Chain A
Amino acid sequence: MINLKLGIAAVLLELGAWSGPLLLGGQTDSALASYLLVHALACVMLSLFLFPLLSTRQARPRLAIVLLMMVCSYAVPIAGFLGVLAAALVLRLYRKPATHTDFESLQMPEFDQHQRRQGHFRHAGLRSFLGNIHAPIQSRLRAMVALQYVSGRTASPLLRTVLSDPSEDLRLLAYGMLDTLEKRVNSSIDAELSALHAAQEAAGNAALRTLESAQRLSDLYWELIYQELVQGDLRKHAIKESLRYCDWVLAEQTDNAQLCLRRGRLLHEQKRPDEAAQAYAQARELGLPATRVLPYQAELCFDRKDFAQAHALMQELAQWSALPRLRPVVDYWSGP
């Protein structure tokens, strides 16, 4: 902070220094000595007064800067005094502080892939590795453990193949992992069922809460099918339940495009192609993007042996470039 008192003191002292010898009127040594002393004091005051005007970067090293200002104003009376004042002001007013150098910009560190220990299996190798009963049990056990971090849809068919493995350890581990996957979905279904009953009793069949619950139940049963956690009659049962809740919601919310698509897929699974086709068409009318619905419509046409229509739909799909995984299929169908 600038201390104005220091500035005033400096000016007064300097005035005093000049007026002192005049008042004393002599050209004595003592007059000169008193001038030099008071002038020196004034210089100290001035430099202390001006010092805060300098920016932090300019003000280093402190002592040397203060001394420089003192010496300048001391050695050249009046002109030095004014010069130092002018210099400080010019520095203050016309030199922009170089703030941008306060922070150094760094390159973003790049994640070094090599720091991470490489796993022993590539994703694609896992299936054949697990299926190879001649591989050492310990390595296969490790491969199984790695499956914990794979999504249920990929993991569950793999785990199911291991269920009939000759090694009991592997069988039991696979069973345990499948069971955990399934338990997760089933316990959610259970919780949701009681939530649905509670909502039904409190608000009736058509209330928003009930419908939300029903939709979630449809989702959860679909999850069992999607992750291939259920098979045979249980799969049929899950499809039936998912469809039941789906219809429940659609009866109230006819414009739910998402559920229309789900309904189509469930009916498709139940081998009811006409109704499925209708549901797919409705989902598209309701505004679901073509890329979401077209593949299923094409599959349905293929199942019904309507190859011309399947071809036409695939042509349509080819216009969209959003489906990298379907690319090979699209390419195959759009060939000459």
Chain B
Amino acid sequence: MSTRKAESADVALVLEGTFPYVSGGVSSWINQIIRAYPEIRFAIVFLGSRREDYKEFKYQLPDNVVHFEEHYLYENLNAHYQPAKRDGDPQAFKLIDQLIDALHQGPDHPQTMEVFRQVALEMRPGGKLRLEDFLYSQRSWEIICSVYRDHCSDPSFVDFFWTVRIMFQPLWLLARVASELIPVRVTHCASTGYAGFLGGLLEQTRGTPLVLSEHGIYTKERKIDLFKSEWIRDNRNIFQRDPTELSYFRQMWIHFFEWMGRYCYASADPIIALYEANRLRQVADGAAPERTFNIPNGIALARFAPLRTQRPATPPPVLCLIGRVVPIKDIKTFVRAMRRVANELPGAEGWIAGPAEEDPSYAEECQSLVRSLGLEENIRFLGFQKVEDLMPRIGLVVLSSISEALPLVLLEGYAAGVPAVSTDVGSCRQLVEGLDAADRALGPSGKIVPIADPQQLADAALSLLNDPVAWQAASQAAIARVERYYTDTMMFDRYRAVYDKAFRQAPGAH
């Protein structure tokens, strides 16, 4: 908790479920950015799901964060008073009818975004579309019933009713946040989704320029979550079900996040991705191509360069996975790979350096996998560690993630002269093998393997650890690559230009 409050700020950072409460790649990037521009006064708007999910700050707020506020989207779902029947504003509900029609026209229909923006506008405090009307009015009930009858392919009305309520309710909270936020000159979102919606709303209502930097692709990640999630029910019976069709509620959530993304893309300029594949993905999801470009991550070389001299002459047989113990990092594949590494190279160790509190049940699964594979001697869960302390003692940085953007840990390893073995996700191939011809000429700085393939991951690691010449070559390539393409000064210069341009568009805070 922080009580920093200010009258106005230069940049409002809208952050959803990340800095300063959660540690990880995006959070440390945000930390880097804030500290890089001490002259800019930042306001942070943190959005979370429920207050109890976020205990304490993982980062100390830099001094140039002058304002901090936090809001929880799923906190106040229950009414605190006895609700009464309401009529609702007929005009507002006419707008809703239009929106429903427009949404069924498909995403590319030009009018759809226009109606969507109008609806967003009316959700603000004092607008025609009030939260109470959505929750308790007769007209709202009728609309929900008729949409259920016309479109819902799931038999449960109760589930449909509550899905609709829970899905849309947080938007009113965001509309209130947007109207009460202190005056700022520029809004900067680190993702689409709810944060992006808030950014879009600020742009729409106050004309505040919106800068969007996406690390992962929010919509895609939500989609994957939703495909896998077990909490969304499918009440269709075996005769009603087409096995190739997702459950209706799943589709509802996916479309919801797709639209939130579109709304944000419509307001944001520029739309920044970390690397080309993600930029193309943004364009496919509705971003205007001319507003998009890439700014890769960069790291402070000065922190890591001195570590190179501390390294032993031969690479220590230690494979280190630096990352949170969460499913997306696929720690289990790393553990399984260690089974083979330990078979072939008996003294080898696998270290997992990262906090395990975020997903305790997954951490427990990993621990029990270690036991069931008999790897208690070979694998160590270190918890959160300072990267500088680890680097001189490890032989390889391993990344077994199933999804990444442009992982900082690979760059940090490179700066300390440690090659990497990584799965073929995000921009990892570009980081290991090089992007253009000049980059490729530096040689590979490690190995790339397919996801969820412990055998190949182990073989790739063994081929580097057992061959000091190849390891040295990879290490040299790593150092050369990070120095030429991925330093923080390059990143800061490019973001400086982005901010300057945005400030020019908005001379004063409003």
Contacts and interface: CB of A to CB of B under 8 A. Distances in A.
Interface stretch (B31-39, B49-57, B243-251, B317-325): B243-251
B466 interface: no
A116 interface: yes
B453 A234 contact: no
A176 B224 CA distance: 8
A173 B227 contact: yes
Contacts of A164: 424, 450-451
A277 B138 CA distance: 76
A175 B373 contact: no
The winner among B239, B243, B244 for most chain A CB atoms within 10 A is B244
A164 B456 CA distance: 12
Contacts of A121: 244
A234 B454 contact: yes
A237 interface: yes
Given A169-B224, A173-B224, A186-B369, 4 more contacts: A172-B227, A186-B368, A193-B372, A234-B339
Interface in A140-198: 142-143, 145-146, 148-149, 163-164, 168-169, 171-173, 175-176, 178-180, 183, 186-187, 189-190, 193
A190 B245 CA distance: 33
A232 interface: yes
26 contacts: A119-B243, A142-B244, A143-B244, A145-B227, A145-B245, A146-B243, A146-B244, A149-B243, A169-B224, A171-B451, A172-B224, A173-B227, A175-B330, A175-B402, A179-B332, A180-B228, A183-B365, A186-B365, A187-B365, A190-B372, A232-B340, A232-B454, A233-B340, A233-B454, A233-B458, A234-B454
A271 to B, nearest CB: 17
A219 to B, nearest CB: 15
Nearest to A182: B332
A270 B220 CA distance: 43
Contacts of B424: 164
A309 to B, nearest CB: 35
A169 B340 contact: no
B139 interface: no
Interface string A120-155: 110000000000000000000011011011000000
A274 to B, nearest CB: 25
A145 B454 contact: no
A190 B368 contact: yes
A178 B244 contact: no
A176 B228 contact: yes
A283 B454 CA distance: 35
A19 interface: no
B372 A168 contact: no
Nearest to A187: B365
A3 interface: no
Contacts, number: 84
B343 interface: yes
Nearest to A180: B228
Contact of A148 (B243, B365, B372, B458): B243
A30 interface: no
A240 to B, nearest CB: 10
Contacts of A149: 243
Q: How large is the interface on B (under 10, 10 to 19, 20 to 34, 35 or more residues)?
A: 35 or more
Interface of B: 220, 223-224, 227-228, 239, 242-246, 327, 330, 332, 336, 339-340, 343, 365, 368-369, 372-374, 402-403, 424-425, 450-455, 458
A183 B454 CA distance: 16
A117 interface: yes
Contact of A234 (B246, B330, B336, B365): B336
Contacts of A58: none
A231 interface: yes
Interface in A218-262: 231-234, 237
Given A168-B403, A173-B224, A234-B373, A163 B452 contact: yes
B257 to A, nearest CB: 14
Given A169-B223, A178-B452, A186-B372, A237 B339 contact: yes
A234 B343 CA distance: 11
A189 B452 contact: no
A231 B243 contact: no
Contact of B453 (A146, A163, A190): A163
Contact of A120 (B239, B244, B369, B425): B244
A128 to B, nearest CB: 16
A244 B77 CA distance: 53
Contacts of B330: 175
Given A176-B224, A183-B365, A232 B243 contact: no
Nearest to B224: A172
A253 to B, nearest CB: 25
Contact of A163 (B336, B339, B450): B450
B224 A145 contact: no
A154 to B, nearest CB: 13
A233 B223 contact: no
Q: Which 10 A-B residue pairs are closest in the complex by CB-CB distance?
A: A232-B455, A142-B244, A233-B340, A176-B228, A146-B243, A146-B244, A164-B450, A172-B224, A149-B243, A190-B368
A119 B453 contact: no
A173 B244 CA distance: 14
Nearest to B455: A232
Given A169-B224, A180-B228, A232-B455, A145 B244 contact: yes
A97 B44 CA distance: 89
A235 to B, nearest CB: 9
B378 to A, nearest CB: 13
A121 B146 CA distance: 32
A190 B373 CA distance: 12
Nearest to B374: A237
Nearest to B332: A179
Contacts of B224: 169, 172-173, 176
Contacts of A189: 372
Contacts of B336: 234
A168 B220 contact: yes
A248 B458 CA distance: 32
Contacts of A176: 224, 227-228
Interface in A191-207: 193
Contacts of B343: 233
Contacts of A142: 244-246
A163 B330 CA distance: 14
Contacts of B244: 119-121, 142-143, 145-146
A231 B372 contact: no
A172 B450 CA distance: 12
A243 to B, nearest CB: 15
Contacts of A116: 239
Contacts of A172: 224, 227, 402-403
Nearest to A171: B451
Contacts of A231: 454-455
A145 B228 CA distance: 10
Interface in A24-51: none
B509 to A, nearest CB: 39
A121 B220 CA distance: 26
